[in-house]
Amino acid sequence: MRFFLFILWLLHWLPLPVLGRLGKCLGTVCYYMMKNRRHIALTNLRLCFPDIPEKERRKIAREHFQGYGRSILERGILWWAPVERIKKLIHVEPAVPFDDTQAGPVIFLCPHFVCLEMPGAIITMGSPGCSIYTQQKNRIFDEMLRKGRMRFHDTVLLFSRSQGIKPIIRALHKNIPFLMLPDMDFGSRDAEFVPFFGQPAATLVAPSRLAAATHAKVIPVVATFLPDYRGWKVKFYPAWENFPDKDNWTSAKRMNEFIEQCILETPSEYLWTHRRFKTRPEGYPKVYPDKE
């Protein structure tokens, strides 16, 4: 791992077009070598896009691996490059809503696109922040990942999922914005089965519960690649009005529909290698082999 991080550090000095192309090559190799993850991606794409040809689904899956490979190598820029270089590479639309974060509690909803590290970086360059953090199995990589996410501001709080919701509520009451990744399958607890491209998906209800408990604004943010290896685009959407909705299921449905629309804009950049449909309603067959 130390050797890998050393290589990553060396590569971050390269111009982004060179680094991005190397990452794309890495992703292509992973597509052919990581059979299990490729199978998960193709399964998800078949469930979500049953009407498009298999050849097109495989093309999306391959491009997804290429984008993921890019994100691995390009992460070195976030970890070690000067802030001035990073700011030049991140195009923000329309602007980071710092006025909102200073005025009251804000929850940034950040779906799992391959460039998901970029919103946290650009937010914490001008504001404190907090998020949920999953400890990595490798101690050295875990330490580097934590340092990378905390490097831009003195107040960046990384909570473990086992700590529950209370630390997040306390942070929000202090006007520390919470960056939330809302679209992973953590089981049926604290979740509702809500359609995701027509498939029932265990969807977290924490966004609506947090918003109700703290009266926080909910602002979606999505990060994608800029064309021609010019950097990354971080788009902040208007705060959702009248959120949460009348119940958790309706709120979760609204969130999934938003994520679907974002995926349709850049389908290959969504995290298809996640087992989004791991938890199934009673009577529904499993879609992934147990060994995966």
- Mean pLDDT within 118-145: 93
Q: For residue 93, what pLDDT is reported?
A: 97
Q: What pLDDT digit, counting tens, does each position of 271-292 carry?
A: 999 999 999 999 999 999 875 5
Tell if the pTM clears 0.85, that is, is over it. yes
Residue 199 has pLDDT above 70, yes or no: yes
How many whole angstroms from its chain centre is CA 52?
Answer: 25
Residue 162 has pLDDT above 90, yes or no: no
The one-letter amino acid at 22 = L
How many whole angstroms from its chain centre is CA 135?
Answer: 16
Kindly provide the residue ranges of all beta strands, DSSP E only, lying in the chain, ordered along the sequence. 90-93, 106-109, 129-132, 156-159, 178-180, 191-196, 199-204, 217-225, 232-236
Q: What pLDDT digit, counting tens, does each position of 8-22 carry?
A: 999 999 999 999 999
